[in-house]
Structure 1
């Protein structure tokens, strides 16, 4: 989640959205256990290569691991596209995902910390990235009585964004768009003792240059800033896809200690980096996380100092 973009409503956006709606609608006519692998297959074999997503994944892998053998990078990119397709249709299959989430037992030291905070009425910020299926982690907590709000970056395609938001709302807890009004609503939810989720792994041009997977990546400090301002726990949490392709291991790590906002945010980056290094196939390498060319232009501008 990054800074909010101006949305587009061009004829091309409309056509793209209609194609997406048709594909999602067709998939949803199938049983859940079939539609999920079908969308994975379609993304890795057709959509990913045709849209350039596979090329972006390979370019990002080369940026981080330039010495990786080509065949290894190709296998990771294929698995990434498969996971992306599965995640898309899972998030448009709210009832099915929530039903399966009842069998996923969350674990990790952050689970007790989350329960204690809820009992005390203390706000909690749950931090994750585009790893496995980020909504699966929220679903596993939702079916256990938590009402987890979210702050999201609106999609550039305004037509697509209209139903994309509806899917997020279906997982329980209010969701708010980036921007003054949305952030205000998110903060109100936190201050009432609620829980909120933030994703920290998208390019944020006005952010701080912090390390992510060994390379500088502009990163927002807002999660750490809100944690300090509202005395919220800061808990990294993840949903790692299991080998059956349909279920997840949900883990809540120990809360990040309050302190300097840069150090807190770097700790969050390091947490996610460790997950990605362990299972690179499950992170969304299709995102333009680093944009080295843009970084060179933006961060080389002279300052007033």
Structure 2
């Protein structure tokens, strides 16, 4: 009980720190976040190991020194995303709209005006939650929310994802039916299918040339809802200059009748975007923890 109480106190103290920090100008906050990232790089040994393994698998063409530089840049980006979270929880809508540019929203509106369900394919870049907040200012959406183990952070994360517009947050236990129903009612689905969720509903398809357990949900949901898939990428701009959320052109000839081929195509697209800003992809996740039968785990 004492440890739980101390954990709650520490969590509330961290939240108070985020609240104080969110008043700072973004360039100052970005500088501090990068400094925090440098500290994390040195102290978070287990996560540093995960990042090193991921980069070694995905960028074998880089030498050790180049991968270490990329890992440090990644931790600096992660540090920024952590410290800038307070902006999403308490920043005014006007301030956030000034800091987060939305490009290509007319593509989504045109599809919705036609009555077409929309899936926003949002890979796990460090600016993911920032992009979600900005999307929520323009669209009443649906997304999947995973409850956090820490109740203090769970409360504030839920608050941050639901404070703008009329957002519907579903749990994974709600299943496919609720998501399809929400899309058919005109809510874009902010979808994040590029993590290792285990073997269930997954196939092994290449990601940077490495077999990666990847759920087939994008193909399945697009087919069930008759939805258009619109790429949605959030880029963290250097120097504390803000973020940009990019809506790409809707995918053509998707889905096909082959869910595995569709999932492989999704991974190829994500890989192509990662290569444009490799330090911002979420390398601290054990993307290759689930292996084909007989293959050793790399971590």
TM-score (norm 2): 0.83
Contact 2:204 2:292 in 1 (8 A): no
Report the CA distance shift for 1:97/1:55 in structure 2 as closer, same or farther (over 3 A): farther
Give the alignment partner of residue 295 of structure 1, picking from 280, 291, 295.
Answer: 291
Out of 22, 25, 28, the position equivalent to 2:19 is: 28
Give the drift of 1:18: 4.6
2:20 & 2:115 partners in 1: Cα distance? 42
Distance, in Å, in 1 between the alignment partners of 2:100 and 2:141 is 17
Displacement of 1:218 in angstroms is 0.6
Q: Does residue 169 in structure 1 map to residue 162 in structure 2?
A: yes
Report what 1:106 is aligned to. Answer: 102
Q: Which runs of 5+ in 2 are unaligned?
A: none
Q: Report how many residues are paired.
A: 285
Q: Once structures 1 and 2 are overlaid, which stretch shifts more, 228-237 or 166-175?
A: 166-175
Could you tell me whether the CA contact under 8 Å between 2:120 and 2:229 is conserved in 1? yes
Does structure 2 conserve the Cα–Cα contact (< 8 Å) formed by 1:49 and 1:55? no
Whole-angstrom distance in 1 between the partners of 2:30 and 2:175: 32
2:190 partner SS: strand
How far does residue 253 in structure 1 lie from its aligned partner after superposition? 1.8
Q: Within 5 A, what are the aligned runs for 1:1-305?
A: 18-30=9-21, 31-32=23-24, 33=26, 34-46=28-40, 49-50=43-44, 52-94=46-88, 95-96=90-91, 98=93, 99-102=95-98, 104-108=100-104, 111-143=105-137, 145-157=138-150, 160-172=153-165, 173-179=167-173, 181=174, 183-205=176-198, 206=200, 207-256=202-251, 257-259=254-256, 260-291=258-289, 294-297=290-293
Superposed CA RMSD: 2.8
Aligned pair in 2 of structure 1 residues 236, 28: CA closer, same or farther (>3 Å)? same
In the TM superposition, what whole-angstrom CA distance separates every residue of 1:187-243 from its partner, at most 9, and x where no partner exists? 332121111111122102121111112211111111221111111111111011111
**TM-score by structure 1 length?**
0.81
